[in-house]
Amino acid sequence: MTRRRPADARRGSALVMVIWTIAVLSIMVVSFAVEAKLQTAANVYMRERVHMDHLVEAGRVLAEMVIATHQSVPDYSEDEDIDKLLEDDRWLQEKRQLKQTGSSATIGPIVVDEKIDETLLSSLSSRGISSESELEGRGSVTVQIESVGGGDGGGPKFNINNLYPKGNPHYAEIWENILYWAGVPEDDHAYFMNAWIDWRDDDDVKMGDYGDNSNEGGEKQYYEDLCEENEEEVYKPRNGPIPDLKELAKLGPFREHPGLLTGGVYNPEAKEEDQIVVSNITEVLTVFGGDKININLASKEVLMCIPGIRSTDDPEDPEDADLISQAIIDWRSGIDKDGNAVDLEEEETGTLIKDWSKLKEITSDEIGNEAQEYIGYTGGQGDGALYRITITAESMGMKHVVKAKATIKESRPVYLEWAEDP
Ligand SMILES: [Ca+2]
């Protein structure tokens, strides 16, 4: 009896070993299977990823080609043979779109199973995408190009990142006009301008009062105190260009008057009869572009903020600005200053305003001379022209978006930003 115990124990421990072995084996088998499955999924994913990269690359080549050559396409003429022209240049329409509007062009979506353009193919092969078959059959790519001024041209809105002493010699006039346009009481203008200049400039020296404090201590100290007072996580001023207008909500005076970033009541705490309604200043601002405004593209609101369109002697009075801006908007929509239809036979460039003398004519000479240096008549062109490019590649339910900013240097596109999502 006493001898059987060790044997039982041995048998028992052998059984435990077997059970363990089976358990370990089955875990291994299961994990192999899972891994194998993951591997396949990963392969498909990787393959698709590479395919998407090729689509994006195709989009990039297209964007660069249209940007680089759109200024040289022939203008529309009544007796043109469009089929022949398209045979010579498949992207003629898109280039014209960008050239004539001076604003934007959309290419595609191009389904990549049709015959691929020769120029595109050769450009792609120089980038290591060897054959048509690599792109064929699957997926599509859409390219949007938006001209935002720069070079000799103008953008649709004021670039806030230039509206400070080092960025634009006229920053103060433009800021004043924007604040007048929005309806901000004159006494408060300096709060917004000072707070913005401090947020944007690279030093920590506070410009002055923001309306809710003295100017003792630096910018950093001010935001530290402000956040601590409100029991928030402390943040610092950007001291550089902002990537998004939403960031303005962090600045002292905008925290106090958020209506200026949405449009609405400026001072909700005041009695109803003293409340002031303001416009949303982000309608006339952007974070990218040059210093000039494209006269053929800008909204009435933006036009009304241009010094010379808004009276420089009496910027508070919007009457002139309203009349001049409306005359420009009317002309662009085909109505001349006397209220008649624009005679398109007479106008070489249709309703596009091509130069200063035309602009004076259509505004009945009411526009002030100082407006000249704020205005461009085309989108960005030549060296320094700026473009926003969005490339959307789609394939097998996957979508890949690239947002890029490019400028022209020595006639070639150079990327300032390239952001892939995700
Ligand atoms: Ca600063």
Show me where the domains of the chain are located. Answer: 6-152+384-420
Q: Which of 26-35, 47-56, 153-162, 320-329 has the lowest mean pLDDT?
A: 26-35
Calculate how far, in angstroms, residue 179's C-alpha sits from the geometric centre of ligand 1.
21
Element (H, E) at 147: strand 140-150
pLDDT in the model for residue 79: 82
- The encoded tokens of residue 227 equal 């956040």
Binned at pLDDT 50, 70 and 90, residue 116 comes out as: low
* 200-204 mean pLDDT: 95
Task: Quote the ligand 1 centre to 126 CA distance (angstroms).
Answer: 45
Q: Look-up: residue for tokens 């124990």? A: 9
Distance 268 CA to ligand 1 centre (A): 29
CA of 256 to the centre of ligand 1 (A): 20
Quote the CA–CA distance of 285 and 245 in Å, as a whole number: 8
Beta-carbon neighbours within 5 Å of ion ligand 1: 198, 201, 219, 239
Contact 194, 176 (CB under 8 A): no
pLDDT on residue 369 = 95
Query: How many whole angstroms from 315 Cα to the centroid of ligand 1?
Result: 28
Confidence of residue 114 (pLDDT cuts 50, 70, 90): very low
**Residue 53's pLDDT is what?**
82
DSSP 3-state assignment of 417?
Answer: strand
pLDDT of 42 strictly over 70: no
Omega cis (within 30) before 318 = no
Mean pLDDT, residues 72-77 taken together: 80
Please tell me the distance between residue 408's alpha carbon and the centre of ligand 1 in angstroms: 30
d(CA 132, CA 124): 9
pLDDT in tens, 259-271: 999 999 999 999 9
Q: Rounded to the nearest whole angstrom, what is the distance from the C-alpha of residue 280 to the centroid of ligand 1?
A: 24
**238 CA distance to ligand 1 middle (Å):** 7
- Cα(207) to centroid(ligand 1), Å: 9
Tens-digit pLDDT profile for residues 380-403: 777 778 888 999 988 777 788 999
Instruction: Please tell me whether the overall predicted TM-score, pTM, comes out greater than 0.85 for this model.
Output: no
| 261 Cα: distance to centroid of ligand 1 (angstroms) | 21
**DSSP string spanning 185-240?**
-GGGHHHHHHHHHHHHSSS----S--SSS-S-S-HHHHHHHHHHHTT--------S
The alpha carbon of 316 and the centre of ligand 1 are apart by a number of angstroms equal to: 29
133 compared with 322, residue with greater pLDDT: 322
CA of 196 to the centre of ligand 1 (A): 9
Task: Record the tokens describing residue 52, joined without a space.
Answer: 């998407």
102-106, 203-207, 280-284, 319-323: least confidently modelled range:
102-106
Residue carrying the six token digits 């690239």: 402
Please tell me the predicted confidence (pLDDT) of residue 117: 56
Q: What is the mean pLDDT of residues 4-11?
A: 52
* Chain mean pLDDT for the chain: 83
Chain centre distance of CA 160: 13
> In angstroms, what is the span from residue 162 Cα to ligand 1's centroid?
14
